[in-house]
Copies of this chain bind each other. A is one copy, B any other.
Amino acid sequence: MRFFSDNAAAAHPKVIEAIERSNRLDTAYDGDEWSGRLDGAFSELFETQVRALWVSTGTAANCLALASLCPPYRGILCHRDAHIEVDEAGAPGFFTGGAKLMLLDGPGAKIAPDTVEAAIGLIRKDVHQVQPAAISITNATEYGLAYRTPEVAALGEVARRHGLGFHMDGARFANAVATTGDSPADITWRAGIDALSFGFVKNGGLNAEALILFRTELADEVAVRRKRAGHLSSKGRMLAAQILALLEDDLWLDNARSANAAARVLAEAAPDRLVHPVEANEIFLRATPLEAAALQAQGFDFYDWAPGEIRLVTSWDQKGEPIEMLAAAIRAL
């Protein structure tokens, strides 16, 4: 059983069905009927007028957003362990034309308003030092913690005060919403978010992510950048159809709840081993190499995150017996 990454899980059957149903001749690119319904569907979900563009990867969603919020000669404040810094091969530098990621510390890969303020305070306001243009946070974070609405709003205040754009990498946005119960609107634009990478691939999708622009005036530029980055699929209807299938009847939330629930089962099996609180679908456990090997010997697959630490990630389709078996195995260590 693989607990390596939700990245690698199967797509939900309804997603595959949606692809099949959309597999007929229509207008190319995003001129089709499915793509045409995205703005409306997300505007309803977020209780405000948004523009929504499909892309095929989270890296593309993140970096298109960042490029629209930060010119080449400025910087983006983010956590030192943010995915955009650590795991996107320098894509933000590519998409922005060389903007700088300005790295901040904070437990659980969260950043706090005073950390951001302190970092800004250290920058001389002259042409020699790179000035920030945006803040980017990940929700749920790379360590599986969820920002609550007031936390996001406090960062939104800092952003507003300094004239900075505010981006949320929501590769696991569904897991964060599922665990906090906060409304999608509250935890994003009402808290100051300008652009959200709304992840579906880790949550039952196949290869469709949505870039949600609360500042709708950015959309035309982002659409050009999407094409220019080779991300305007000619049969984009298949991407839109996946997203619509996951939005229907809140399947995206059900999937996330399912993955979160599985993670909680595992967390409860080893409360003393937890490196971080388990709020989404990632579990970071202290485990010796021997213990890790013992789990692997039983057929459980995961990531050796750091010396003495392993990472387990649950997916929307992992529930019941396999989870119980892993929980038992952890308990038995």
The count of identical subunits is 4
A91–B239 alpha-carbon span in the complex (Å): 21
Report if A127 contacts B (CB, 8 A).
yes
Tell whether, in the assembled complex, residue A90 and residue B63 are in contact, meaning their CB atoms are under 8 Å apart. Answer: no
Report if A260 contacts B (CB, 8 A).
no
Report if A75 contacts B (CB, 8 A).
yes
Tell whether, in the assembled complex, residue A94 and residue B8 are in contact, meaning their CB atoms are under 8 Å apart. Answer: no
Report if A319 contacts B (CB, 8 A).
no
Checking B27, B60, B225 against A8 with a beta-carbon cut-off of 8 angstroms, the contacting residue is B27
Tell whether, in the assembled complex, residue A206 and residue B223 are in contact, meaning their CB atoms are under 8 Å apart. Answer: no
Q: Is the interface of A mostly helix, strand, loop or mixed?
A: loop
Tell whether, in the assembled complex, residue B89 and residue A130 are in contact, meaning their CB atoms are under 8 Å apart. Answer: yes
User: Contacts A25-B9, A206-B23, A238-B207: A94 and B4 contacting too (C-beta < 8 A)?
Assistant: no
Per-position 1/0 for A21-65, Cβ under 8 A of B: 001111111000000000000000000000000011101110100
A131–B90 alpha-carbon span in the complex (Å): 10
User: Contacts A23-B11, A224-B73: A57 and B91 contacting too (C-beta < 8 A)?
Assistant: no
CB neighbours of A86 from chain B (8 A): 128-129
- Taking CB as reference atom, which chain B residue is nearest A27? B8
Tell whether, in the assembled complex, residue A228 and residue B8 are in contact, meaning their CB atoms are under 8 Å apart. Answer: no
Tell whether, in the assembled complex, residue B23 and residue A2 are in contact, meaning their CB atoms are under 8 Å apart. Answer: no
* Stretch from A96-104, A178-186, A245-253 at the B interface: A96-104
Report if A231 contacts B (CB, 8 A).
yes
Report if A20 contacts B (CB, 8 A).
yes
Chain B nearest Cβ from A238, distance in angstroms? 6
Chain B nearest Cβ from A326, distance in angstroms? 15
CB neighbours of A160 from chain B (8 A): none
- Taking CB as reference atom, which chain B residue is nearest A127? B227
Docked complex: A211-240 residues within 8 A CB-CB of B: 221, 223-235, 238-239
User: Contacts A228-B89, A234-B201: A16 and B23 contacting too (C-beta < 8 A)?
Assistant: yes
Tell whether, in the assembled complex, residue B8 and residue A26 are in contact, meaning their CB atoms are under 8 Å apart. Answer: yes
Checking B19, B96, B239 against A19 with a beta-carbon cut-off of 8 angstroms, the contacting residue is B19
CB neighbours of A75 from chain B (8 A): 90
Tell whether, in the assembled complex, residue B90 and residue A230 are in contact, meaning their CB atoms are under 8 Å apart. Answer: no
Report if A87 contacts B (CB, 8 A).
yes
9 nearest CB pairs, A to B: A93-B98, A60-B230, A59-B230, A7-B234, A97-B97, A8-B28, A89-B227, A89-B228, A7-B28
